[in-house]
Amino acid sequence: MNDIVLHVADVDKSFGGLRALSNIDLQIEEGKTHAIIGPNGAGKSTLLNVCVGRIVPDSGAVIFNGKALTGRQPHEINQLGVARVFQTPEIFPDLSLLHNVMIPAFAKRDGAFTFNAWSGLVRESGIRAEAESVLEDIGLIEKKDLEAASLSRGDKRRLELAMGLVQHPRLLLLDEPTAGMSRHDTNRTIDLLKKIKERGMTKVIIEHDMHVVFSLADRISVLAQGRIIAEGTPEEVRNDPKVKEAYLGE
């Protein structure tokens, strides 16, 4: 077995009377693509938000690379090598695509994006080249000088993916990265995610689209009503009667 990059240990989280996560235990192996699937409202986004420090669990811990993440600020977690792509793209709408991708590259290097960094943006040829290369990979290079606000929904999602990739994270967390994309863009994104897998990046991917899950995942955990009801290889999960049952009535 490879090293464990991320260990979610016995995590619980309730919102008022609603138990969004119950006794979640999850181990993510180095270099693997681990998918988390489950019906709407199962707790997938909550779990991802716990991993990046946006939601503090009621109990349990998240351990990344031997360090406890619980209680750390999102930017500290990012600095340790965890990047994420949210379900709703978080981009800078008024800035060009190029600047959108340069900012997280700065933030990763300097620990924050400061006014000094902004005023020095034009001189940062290294970071600019890096951002351009990621935009090239993701198929958005021709649009690099456009305002991010002008992009289609699918392109915004790809831009956000570029903003994660440019940080060369050890662990990339993706919440429904292909939601809102055409089939063509979905397939391009699958190819890109396969390519970064070859580079050894560990990924946790929350996904509704089974075509995406079965194209990419090495392992799958199935969440339903805040609990992990099944875990295994795509083949094992596909044939699990508990999983079929959880998706009935979806």
Q: Which residues bind ligand ADP (CB under 6 A)?
A: 15, 18, 20, 38, 40-46
What residue 20 binds from Mg ion, ligand ADP, none (CB within 5 to 8 A, per partner kind)?
A: ligand ADP
The nearer residue to ligand ADP, 44 or 203, going by C-beta atoms, is 44
- Which residue, among 34, 29, 69, has the nearest Cα to 52 in the 3D structure? 69
Please state the closest distance from residue 8 (CB atom) to ligand ADP, in A.
14
C-beta closer to ligand ADP: residue 46 or 100: 46
* CB of 241 vs Mg ion, minimal distance in Å: 25
CB of 102 or CB of 161, closer to Mg ion? 161
Q: What angle do CA 243, 179, 197 make, to 5 degrees?
A: 80
Which parts of 40-69 interact with Mg ion (CB under 5 A)? 44-45
| List of E strands, the chain | 4-15, 18-29, 33-37, 59-64, 67-68, 82-85, 171-175, 202-206, 219-224, 227-232
Residue 72 and residue 87: Cα distance in Å, rounded? Answer: 22
Q: How far is the CB of 234 from ligand ADP (least distance, A)?
A: 19
Chain residues that interact with Mg ion, rule: CB under 5 A: 44-45
